[in-house]
Chains A and B, each alone.
Chain A
Amino acid sequence: MGCGLDEIATRLRGGERLRAGEALDLYRAAPTLELGRLADAARAAKHPERIVTYIIDRNVNYTNVCVARCNFCAFYRPVGAGDGYVLGFDEIFAKIDETLEVGGVQLLLQGGHNPDLPLGWYEDLFRAVKERYPTFRLHALSPPEVIHLSRLSQLPVPAVVERLVAAGLDSIPGGGAEILVDRVRRLLNCHGKATAEEWLDVMRTAHRAGLRTTATMMYGTVERPEERIEHLLRLRDLQDETGGFTAFIAWSYQPPNTELGGIEATGVEYLRTLALARLVLDNFDNLQASWVTQGGRVGQLSLAFGANDMGSVMIEENVVRAAGAAYCMDEVEIVRNIENAGFVPKRRNMHYELLGDPIFRERAVPRMLELAVARAGEVGAPPPEVARYPARSRAEKARRAAR
């Protein structure tokens, strides 16, 4: 490495905190494998036992109807679209049953900003889930969804969080962060759903309410390298303040079928970004590999570039698939990749508490060769329980009037 980079590396090895300019120098100029070495050393310092964790959960998107209209999203459908859907409670219960069958412990439940699903729908859903499956965890509703519910219900965010927790919310996923810089968010048409400060405020509120959350970054759209670093520094600052983040997950923007279009960042850029995140986020214990966007091979290589977690078995995925990526890894594959990289695989929950060894070694579980989708076949009419709640959109009011 160059002289300045050597000094930064020396400071890092001495346990000093990376500054913004230094992070930018490393990202721009450090050889990829040197970045990897530094990140791997940082990973080893936090996780010397060489355990790599993963969670068995299911990524369920309860609706694809969304008023946010982010231009990087291939998943959403506008209100009234023929292929818009809302999952019924029974469909969600069936997905939970399937998740339990393969040893799963939670749903990662996220969806569009659907104006016809008020706060009460979520409360009723969460209560129904907890009534049927008392120990099953709900890792649900990213900050922009919480803000959407706050706006719909005319309640402040803390009150919304309090009601959701009372109904059964266990933790909040870090989706919707994209890049936490408002210049970027305006260009991505996601400034309206949540500004950078609003996203951070929801997380601050959740942490103060005792919830643990994750943090994410979707990079590779219109941001500059220094804006990626600003994103990381804002997360680091909030983590200093609350300590509420359990993990950080970075993934690359998937351009196919989106309004924004463009090209995907390369595999090397992913590994460099991940490594840099490990170095900047010195107060985050866990970094996940994004095999769902990078594929199994580069997903596994993440373990040499700072990641200590293989993320989720996932079971189902809709958002990234809508943008063309269709990678699949079941528990057997995830465990094989962890062991092949020289690590010890352990199941975990969202709080990163170890749950044990791989399930499939204890009992037979069905192999998955392909991730499931939210709803196979016809989209159909909304589930009956939606009619229990007042319609807000013109399209839904018209649909109900026509029946």
Chain B
Amino acid sequence: MAADRQAGSTTAELEAIGERLRAGDGLASGDAAVLAATPDLVALGALADERRRAVRGDRVTFVRVLEVEAAAAGAGPDGVPPRAGEVRIVGRPANIAAAVAAARRLREAAGRTPVTGFALDDLVDVCGADASAVREALAGLREAGLERVAEARVDGVADPAWIELAAAEGLPVTRLTVASADADALETAGTVAAWGAAAASVRVFAPLPTNAGPRPSTGYDDLRRVALARLVVDNIDSIQVDWRLYGPKLAQVALTFGADDVDAVSPIDTLEHGWRRAPLEEIARNVSAAARVPIERNGRFETGTARP
């Protein structure tokens, strides 16, 4: 009984926060802690969903991504699946020369498909955190055909000035991600929000960890992270979930808890299971079943028309 009373009182606090958000006041001091502590996951999700609707409407964007390991990119694919909306170089490059070579190789193979790649914190680290070396590296990558830096890890970037530097050098960061499964959800979202305008060039925040911990995360943990990201982060419009990493079921439910962008849909469609289970049909069906409008985008965030 005590626990349900506690849940009830927290729900009342959530309703008060909801009123403030609806009035356009933003979160007050202490609100984020209340949100993070509530046992009422559905009420938290409802607040996040309301916020998502206000910011993004019922649109859910998704992107089909061909990932190529940095180490293998030098001898990477000769062709890129025509359905790919983004070619992404993943993994830490051995050095900047290798990174530039990988970008150049994939630029040639990708045709008109945008090529993105690398984590900004890896590039900074490879450059010994030397600003002029980072500038030079970014310029080289841009010249080689890279269009955006694929990600910056919130728990890896020591200073948001690096994000501003990348944008200034013409290679803005696409996504803020979280690497460690141990990263505190509220702290991470708070960090992103505190970066303010420094993160303005970033298009999406993906709050679910990209590295698995010793135990799998729970559904409650994952959705709490998504909802908190939507409610606390006010400087980035899109909250993203990874289709491949978290699976269709969790990713779809996350769309009702504040997420509005889906990453890493497969561009490869062998049709071995029939067209209804092809990646494009599956993502569109899942988005529609969550009562959202699926819209495909590419790595430049150019969108197509809404799918029925």
Contact = CB atoms under 8 A, between A and B. Distances in A.
Interface of A: 31-34, 36-37, 40, 44, 48-50, 261-263, 266-271, 294-301, 304-305, 336-337, 340-342
A157 B66 CA distance: 59
B21 to A, nearest CB: 16
A261 B1 CA distance: 46
Q: Is the interface of A mostly helix, strand, loop or mixed?
A: helix
A336 B215 contact: yes
A339 B274 CA distance: 40
What bracket does the count of chain B residues touching chain A fall in?
A: 35 or more
A95 to B, nearest CB: 27
B249 A298 contact: yes
A36 B4 CA distance: 16
Contacts, number: 100
Interface of B: 1, 3-4, 7, 39, 41-43, 45-46, 49, 215-223, 246-250, 252-253, 255-257, 274, 276-277, 282, 285-286, 289-291
Contacts of B252: 266-268
A54 to B, nearest CB: 15
18 contacts: A34-B46, A37-B42, A37-B43, A44-B4, A262-B276, A263-B285, A266-B289, A267-B253, A271-B253, A295-B247, A297-B216, A297-B247, A300-B219, A301-B223, A301-B253, A304-B220, A341-B41, A342-B39
B1 A267 contact: no
B46 A336 contact: no
A13 B224 CA distance: 26
Contacts of A298: 219, 249-250, 253
Contact of A50 (B4, B219, B222, B250): B4
A34 B46 CA distance: 8
B4 A297 contact: no
Given A32-B256, A34-B46, A36-B42, A49 B219 contact: no
B291 A48 contact: no
A72 to B, nearest CB: 16
Contact of A296 (B39, B218, B274, B277): B218
Contacts of B291: 31-32
A297 B250 contact: yes
Given A270-B249, A296-B216, 13 more contacts: A31-B291, A32-B256, A266-B249, A266-B289, A271-B253, A297-B216, A297-B217, A298-B253, A300-B220, A301-B219, A304-B42, A336-B218, A342-B3
B37 to A, nearest CB: 11
A33 B46 contact: yes
- Nearest 9 A/B pairs, CB to CB: A267-B249, A297-B219, A342-B39, A301-B219, A300-B219, A36-B42, A266-B289, A33-B46, A50-B3
B248 A48 contact: no
B227 to A, nearest CB: 10
A268 B60 CA distance: 15
B275 to A, nearest CB: 11
A266 B284 CA distance: 12
Nearest to B246: A297
B276 A297 contact: no
Nearest to B289: A266
Contact of A297 (B39, B46, B215, B222): B222
Contacts of B216: 296-297
B218 A297 contact: yes
Nearest to B47: A33
Contact of B289 (A37, A269, A300, A336): A269
A31 B106 CA distance: 43
A341 B220 contact: yes
Given A37-B42, A268-B252, A32 B220 contact: no
Nearest to B39: A342
Contacts of A49: 1
